[in-house]
Structure 1
């Protein structure tokens, strides 16, 4: 009973973080156009590229509030005081180090990097593939140590890409190499795949799931992206190397 009560109190803290993350995602999505004219066609709000991050942000807020409500029903308002004491105690750091929480941090970091760093600056397809691969690998990484390593690598790569884009270095490099952010993202995807294969080679079942996840991570973005780009005529948030190639193939005259 004491363990359940402790977890419910921790859920109040976790729920608040989830709600805050959802609000940040929605604020960023509101910067995207809801309506636009593309190819002489006026696109309506329900085909806007902002819908997906708005949906994700809204679901995060909803789920966070449900988590807080469930926790409050278990521990009552008195539990809020206990949560504040819990936050100021050393027990909080032990809670942070639990495997499920490390996985949660990885998912949140991956989502924030996808929305704030990759989507505005990298071609949609490699950005979405990298996002899904990291997300899947968080659940098929084999052990807790590898999960923590993956979290550190995610933080490092997002920091690197953030500095690369926000410092304007990508603009300078693009004078020599076209779409440098896209190429770097493809290199990151290749490194992640090799790392995943090496880490999971001793886990046959997880390796099989990772192979399936790899297929889904590639097929899903191309399916959704092609439908939105060429059938619904919705421009991608950032169009780069892959979309240029698809444009060439799509509008090729046979």
Structure 2
């Protein structure tokens, strides 16, 4: 009897998961299509728009965004296919698919707040490595264990620097200047990392600082110096130093 009851609960949870996967897949597909459309305005494949040449495709600033949004579109289509095959589409409009769940709402809301602050507040104004490191740390710490308190802490750790950057340096004319908001984000990142390491002794927590630092560092250097792509906020606290030493210290070594 206990096994049957447990199996019934598992089946119910699976039905709810697949029904919500259906909505999540549609959201992913919608976002991917929108950003692919916006990315299509960037010159690509040798195009010339408004006097801006796309040059060769591998030098186009559109190549990385196209890759990201195509991957998101593919992920959404795969998730949608799985949800439909598992019956998620049939239950999407039922109480299972639309039902209120406090923990689920907090989780989705926290992720939305973090990503919204990252895209609209931090990326245009703050060093990309610092902003990405803070967000990666917040996402791993806040959501890998599924605890509501951590989700809210992670959202707060990103929201406060984001609000500061928006309120202090809102005009676009100030976006590419070195500012105190870089230091605020760095402080928030360090505090969140220390808090995480003190309260979470798991292997995931110990590896998070390395992931949060190396992932954006490798990505931004590859984009800037390998693929010659545009990098957000080139005058940021860390990237400005990386760019300076690349051209002044490292590049002359193989140019001579």
1:146 matched to 2:141: no
CA separation of 1:184/1:102 partners in 2, compared to 1, >3 Å: closer, same or farther?
same
Question: Could you tell me how far apart the structure 2 residues matched to 1:63 and 1:195 are?
Answer: 30
Q: Using the TM superposition, give the Cα deviation of residue 215 of structure 1 relative to its aligned residue in structure 2, in angstroms.
A: 1.8
1:119-159 alpha-carbon deviations (Å, 9 max, x no partner): 33333332333333333333457832121232244345445
TM (normalized to structure 2)?
A: 0.69
Question: What's the Cα RMSD here?
Answer: 3.7
Q: Using the TM superposition, give the Cα deviation of residue 191 of structure 1 relative to its aligned residue in structure 2, in angstroms.
A: 1.9
Say whether the 8 Å CA contact 2:138–2:157 is kept in structure 1.
no
Question: Could you tell me how far apart the structure 1 residues matched to 2:126 and 2:81 are?
Answer: 38
The runs of at least 4 consecutive aligned structure 1 residues that moved more than 6 Å come to none
Gap regions ≥5 residues in structure 2: 1-10, 48-52
Question: Could you tell me how far apart the structure 2 residues matched to 1:32 and 1:238 are?
Answer: 18
Gap regions ≥5 residues in structure 1: none
Question: Could you tell me how far apart the structure 2 residues matched to 1:7 and 1:158 are?
Answer: 32
Instruction: Identify the residue that residue 168 of structure 1 maps to in structure 2.
Output: 171
SS at match of 2:81: helix
Q: Using the TM superposition, give the Cα deviation of residue 202 of structure 1 relative to its aligned residue in structure 2, in angstroms.
A: 3.6
CA separation of 1:155/1:57 partners in 2, compared to 1, >3 Å: closer, same or farther?
farther
Instruction: Identify the residue that residue 121 of structure 1 maps to in structure 2.
Output: 125
1:1-54 alpha-carbon deviations (Å, 9 max, x no partner): 333323322222222222233334434544555479xxxx98532343433333
1:64-117 alpha-carbon deviations (Å, 9 max, x no partner): 23223322223276434427x853xxx2x21x523xx64455445444444444
CA separation of 1:19/1:244 partners in 2, compared to 1, >3 Å: closer, same or farther?
same
Instruction: Identify the residue that residue 16 of structure 2 maps to in structure 1.
Output: 6
1:223 matched to 2:218: yes
Question: Could you tell me how far apart the structure 2 residues matched to 1:78 and 1:247 are?
Answer: 53
